Amino acid sequence: MRFRAVLLQLLWAVLLCFVFSDGAQALPCDPPALSATQPWFPVTSAPAFDKPAPHPAPDCPFYQAAWHQFLFDLQKDANGTPALLSYPALDAVFGQHAAAVAGPLVLNAGANQVTSDAVLIDRDGYPVYYAIHVNPAFAAFIRESGLDNPAGILDPDRRALTFPAGVAEYKSAWRVLTNPAEFPDYLTTTAQVPRLHVAGGRLIADPTSTYLATVGLIGLHVVFAIDGHPEMIWSTFEHVDRNGSADLTPQSLVNPQREKAPLLISPNVEYILFRRGSPSLIDPAPPALADYAAHLDAVGASFTNGASPFTTPIYRAYPGSNMTQPSEDDEVLALNAGVRAEMLSAGLANDPRIHYRLVGATWLDRPEDTFAAGTVFANAPDQTTKTGPVAGQDALSSVAMESFVQIDRPGCFSCHDTQGIDVSPTISIGARRLNMSHLLSHYLQSVGD
């Protein structure tokens, strides 16, 4: 009997090595059944924060955790409002702890993208806008840790803090909807949309000059901590069409090569952020300020000053969101298909959450060994996301948020690490693990010296 047990263990080990080795067939990745004890549909239960096993175990539990968090955050409450829209915005977390005010969505992150400072313009000539929220657990952690004021953030005694399981932050991307026929295909809300103008050599959104409009969600970063992963799981979701297919942009057939223009898949299809037949460049670069200014209408609401709407056509540079292989992750594809099928089976064809897909997620495979202050997180050239410290999709970008830096700054960890942050010429946040999130530095920038 003992020999048989040892033999079975050896056979199981061989099977694990085969199943989880690079390039091998992945195990199925499905949502929980509708009859599960913690179902996702028709009512999404609160997410659990259990730590998944590292490699050679499959990545599926991380993708499942991301989908569960997304579905819970966008589930409608008794008033028919997605939970995310009632979560605290930054001005309700820091400073005077302003209470959340019911009313139109405030697009508190403007229209300028981080790093590139560019403005993304959709196929109809309207800029894409952004908002940042955190869940109640994140807000509570900030306040209870004394990080809700500049002195507390800069206090060296707080450098040992890490994000606890359950905290989450979100960055959302929204387009202005002008055709009511499109409304059912999005998660929509009414927003205070800032007008744009040129000031100080930049194109900026003016929060003091707004108009009311219906906006539709086209992209969402869901960043959350679970047990054993204080670096947080970095995931991104994007809009899909009625058939569940990606409809924001075309994607390259292969990973980017500097000396070659991209070969795009279906470039003659009309996309939300890529008008049919638009030119594709080696780098999806933003236009010059003069081009923006020349097409901006008189009231600063759209770029329709001209014979046709002015747009900024972009594409997905890394089709699989992975530095070493161009194909999309089998587990992500299977889970996306499973979620859609389960929603249809649960009678949720009209639920706006069905119009989104998980693009991917990334995390540290063994954070207990690698997650330290003052560290940059990247896989070596001879490593993959199965063998290196960065797991999941290491070239993960949102085409709606990192549109113009997908090639120069691929992957969430190319911007988010634990090094020190220079907030201004006179203010710096020392190296610490909390620097994975930029919300603390954003707050310090907003209050100035």
Q: Percent of the chain at pLDDT above 90?
A: 73
State yes or no: pLDDT of 310 exceeds 50.
Answer: yes
Confidence (pLDDT) at 4: 37
Confidence of residue 257 (pLDDT cuts 50, 70, 90): confident
Residue indicated by tokens 């009313």: 103
CB-count burial class (<10 Å; 0-12, 13-18, 19+) for 257: exposed
Any idea of the CA torsion for 288, 294, 297, 300, to the nearest 10 degrees?
40
Tens digits of per-residue pLDDT, 399-439?
999 999 998 889 999 999 999 999 888 889 999 999 999 99
pLDDT (tens digit per residue) in 195-205: 999 988 999 99
pLDDT digits (tens, 9 = 90+) for 229-244: 999 999 999 999 999 9
pLDDT for the residue 15: 36
Mean pLDDT (whole number) for 110-128 = 94
pLDDT in tens, 149-178: 999 999 988 889 999 999 999 999 999 999
Tell me which of 30-34, 64-68, 231-235, 254-258 is least confident. Answer: 254-258
The segment with the largest mean pLDDT, out of 23-32, 249-258, 277-286, 337-346, is 337-346
On the question of pLDDT at 2 being above 50, the answer is: no
